[in-house]
Chains A and B, each alone.
Chain A
Amino acid sequence: MTQPFRIKGAGTLPHTRTIQFTFDGQSYEGYEGDTLASALLANGVHLMGRSFKYHRPRGVVAAGPEEPNALVGITRDRARHTPNVRASVQELYDGLNATSQNRFPTLNFDIGALNSLMSPFFPAGFYYKTFKWPAKAWDALYEPFIRRAAGLGEAPTESDPDRYVNRFAHCDVLIIGGGAAGLAAAQAAAEKSQSVILCDENPAMGGWLLADSDIQIDGQTGAQWAANMAAELATRDNVRLLTRTTGFGYFQHNMVGLVERITDHQARPEPSQPRERMWQVRAKQVVIAQGSIERAMVFPGNDRPGIVLAGAAQKWLNQYGVSVGSRIGVYTACDTAYAAAFDLHEAGIGIEVIVDYRKVVDETILAQAREHKIEVVLGATVAQTTGRLRINGMQVKTATGEQKEFDIDALLMSAGWTPSLHLYSQSRGKPVWDEASQRFLPGESPQDCICVGGCTGTDSMEQVLAEAERALGNKPRKFDIEDDVSTDGGIIGATGNSTEKGKAFVDFQNDVTAKDIALAVREGMHSIEHVKRYTTNGMATDQGKLSNMHGLAIAANLLKKPIPEVGLTTFRPPYTPTTFGSFVGHTRGPLFDPERKTPIHDWAVENGADFEPVSLWQRAWYFPRAGETMHEAVDRECRTTREIAGIFDASTLGKIEVTGPDAAAFMNIMYTNSWDKLKAGRAKYGIMCREDGFIYDDGVVGKLSDTRFHVTTTTGGAPRVLNHMEDYLQTEFPEMKVWLTSTSEQWATIAVQGPKAREIIEPLVTGADISAENFPHMSVVECKVCGVPARLFRISFTGELGFEINVPADYGRSIWDAVWRRAQPLGACAYGTEAMHVMRAEKGYIIVGQDTDGTVTPHDAGLSWAIAKSKPDFVGKRGMMRPDLVREGRRQLVGLKTSDPGKVLEEGAQIVEDPEQPVPMKMLGFVTSSYWSGTLGKSIALALIEDGSLRLGETLYVPMADEIIEVEVTGTVFYDEKGERLHG
């Protein structure tokens, strides 16, 4: 028989569409609108999981997001496996494929359950006390064992093919929770023409109204009223209704994160649909209407499958038309469980007994029980339950100490309701203890937010609705309400002698019992935070939605302290577990970070370049020809450049236009060099320091006119250099008439280097004489190249005759092509960053960030000549004078020559005086740059070495893992020391 526990006439599901699904390979049927849990329950399946530590059989206990036990894996295909899905909220769809977790080999028979027998040895914190000997065994033996036993579901194993999207949104009022309170608040706000977002985590608005068959509002059932309210709100332009949308985090300045689940309930989602949508909402006002969550009773044996929250049973009946059993017991300390029992009874289900922990209960309720002919035992406790994979009986201890046994197949429990303060607390609000009702309630709101409804402890529907309206500044309007359900009562903490005997679970998922909490307290864990961490109470995937208050009360009781003094643990985002993908959105692959390419990039691709990432940029690294290794290609590029010419895409260099009457004065402040004497039309190498005197950036600066500089920076340094300049300009020297503009991307930069460089470009240039006499090394001119306005530099980073052509970037490719058409027939080549690095190292030119790090001064780098001695001030001047920056023994940049010219040192290799000394060795410095120089037929290297400039000619050693390399300290220039080629 299918769905034996589906109750005819009960619930609001239409029963029009039957849905097939599987659980652990077994096929079942349910109805459209079911959750996985309600459908399994309809089929009489309670056992849905195994607990974390003891592997005890566990059934579903809750009908909402607070569910701690019924976590399953949902698999759509190989790449779409989601672990730890709560069966209580997973909506059923055709073909849904769920498997239980944390059991081997099967859910019914799990070897791990042996742990349960060993449980006396595994109390809270047992692992701190043991597994210490022998020392190595922890890694090798104990830990792998513990790790395998722990964990719940299996992580997905393949890249997630689903799409996630993000939306920033703004509104006047954001309402979290679409129960009666949220709906009323939304309507009130909407009527005031405010822009409203209302979200609820469920598929439909209504909250508790959907579960309660007794409430009537304005002549409609609660469910009808909610549906009509939602429909009415949906018609308004200023309201956005978001179902299946959880408010998971309340951040600073009224920013709330919502996550909307779009396809997880669908059998065949449209491929165009994202799986989830993240909403980052900035609201002027936030209304929190989260409602409340029912607590379980803490008593020995309270975790058997078949033992469920009373409210959940009521919801399953009234919404889904499912009964949790046929011979049902109730154990409660709160009036609401009676309503659940009555509803079930009216649906024809046997209620064996209501065991009420309280001695006194309102007479009207007792009268109703009598009408239903249900036995009520007051002032009693459930002492134990029986049944292996499903409850089959319970022992009740009456007020007089009498033992009674009941045969049951399900047990409803209710210890009362905990107002949901999660988001309120995250907004940095402080919950306040209410002694009368024994619960924490929202206190003052530090942000612009207000709590309404069940989460403020308001119980009657009439007050809930009035409160919601008042929150929005409205005069409450009159609803016509019929609601005879009382929510009185409740208990926090364990019942009976749970802290002494038996396993009375507080945190179901983490297998924390009342005894564990008692043990923690006994061991000195007196702060609730210590109790939490020692026992792991409240640290499971439900984050203590059922357990925190009980844990707190048990600890407080043992400590003999009032509850507020013991205090709550901190509520943290997310409210319910939230998919990583939803945070990531489209920030994957190419959209993870911008990938910047120059206008000439495609040419490099077409010509087979390998690329090197430098900050966000992709730069052509080298251009291997068929069959060439990187090494061979770089050798060839260097040789060709030095013998003929090479062209190089230098467009990524940062460029800043510094203009204004005070431009030179400003440059004097920002750079170590002096800019006073530089003539228009000339260029200079500049060094920039931070105030601490260490090198920050460098680059060639061209002076275009007395009031205009074309400043270049390193590729990665461009943004921070501009920021650094703006900072000084705006805040230290606001009186200076200087303006800064980033032109990094305005210009494409083509370096043409080598003996034939001039021959290559000359025909392309108009409006300038670029002869050796009239355009010497370190010149700059504004002219035209291929007919477009250009800035032409005569500079060289290779040591050869060289030019850098700057042209407006949209022309970059076209002009590169023109240069190439001239260069290629002459036998020139394109070269990449690696050849550029080799050639500049041959010349002893530094690369900031490679030959320097943030601890190198210009003096250390051998650049003292670039520091203006006479300037009264520049950024870094004072810093450079500090005792440690002028002491002896600083590391200075030198060249290294290996004894074996064929030996190329490793960059980063360390240098010592005595390679035979024991470890730890005294290191003098390290290799910053090292290459094979094809031009010189030997290796070359630069290094930072203690007192390097005093060590020229000294022999030092580079101890490698497998050899010791002998080196001689040299100057930093290896090639054309006189600089003749450059001036050609």
Chain B
Amino acid sequence: MLLIHCPYCEADHPELEFANAGEAHIVRPREMSNMSDEDFEAMFFIRDNPKGVSLERWRHVHGCGRFFNALRHTVSDTFLKVYKAGEARPSNDEIAKLIK
């Protein structure tokens, strides 16, 4: 059971209070109807699924209820960073630093 820091509750809470909500920073275009089939496929089905740092969404569903984003290493399962929904995606440089 992971221990997850919720950026809204500002505390570590047990995984049982959270729900993983898939890959983060997938942009849903405002003009959906104009998307090509390829773009739709990319948005809805294609996933990074990295062996390394995953940018992912969690919801503190049995806590404050908020969705937020996290960087987690999928081999060690350690969280490198959590941040609120809407905050910018960390740059690759920042991610590389966090791994170290």
Contact = CB atoms under 8 A, between A and B. Distances in A.
Interface stretch (A173-181, A386-394, A403-411, A878-886): A878-886
B92 interface: no
Nearest to B43: A691
A671 to B, nearest CB: 15
B59 interface: yes
Interface in A918-952: none
Given A255-B3, A730-B66, A428 B33 contact: no
A879 B44 contact: yes
Contact of A734 (B37, B61, B65, B86): B86
A717 to B, nearest CB: 16
A253 interface: yes
A732 B76 CA distance: 30
Contact of B3 (A282, A723, A872): A282
A94 interface: no
B65 A726 contact: yes
Instruction: Please classify how large the interface on chain B is, using the bins under 10, 10 to 19, 20 to 34, 35 or more.
Output: 20 to 34
Interface in B61-85: 61, 65-67, 76-78, 85
Interface residues of A, number: 27
A723 B58 CA distance: 12
Interface string B12-44: 001000010100000010111101010010011
A843 interface: no
A877 interface: yes
B1 interface: yes
A734 B85 contact: yes
A251 B1 CA distance: 7
Given A252-B1, A253-B3, A878-B32, A727 B67 contact: yes
A901 interface: no
A732 B28 contact: yes
Contacts of B1: 251-253, 255, 280
B85 A731 contact: yes
B67 A731 contact: yes
A280 B77 CA distance: 19
Contact of B61 (A168, A446, A723): A723
B98 interface: no
A906 interface: no
B64 to A, nearest CB: 11
Contacts of B59: 723, 726-727
A253 B65 CA distance: 23
A282 B67 contact: no
A720 to B, nearest CB: 11
A873 interface: yes
A872 B33 contact: yes
Contacts of A255: 1, 3
A692 interface: yes
Contacts of B85: 730-731, 734
Given A446-B76, A723-B59, A730-B85, A881 B33 contact: yes
Given A252-B77, A877-B32, A878-B32, A726 B67 contact: yes
A584 B75 CA distance: 29
A691 B37 CA distance: 13
B26 to A, nearest CB: 10
B2 interface: yes
A253 B30 CA distance: 39
Contacts of B67: 726-727, 730-731
A437 to B, nearest CB: 29
Interface string A413-448: 000000000000000100000000000000000100
Interface of A: 168, 251-255, 280, 282, 428, 446, 691-692, 723, 726-727, 730-732, 734, 872-873, 877-879, 881-883
8 smallest A-B Cβ distances: which pairs? A253-B3, A878-B32, A730-B67, A731-B85, A252-B77, A873-B32, A731-B67, A252-B2
5 contacts: A253-B3, A280-B1, A691-B43, A727-B21, A873-B32
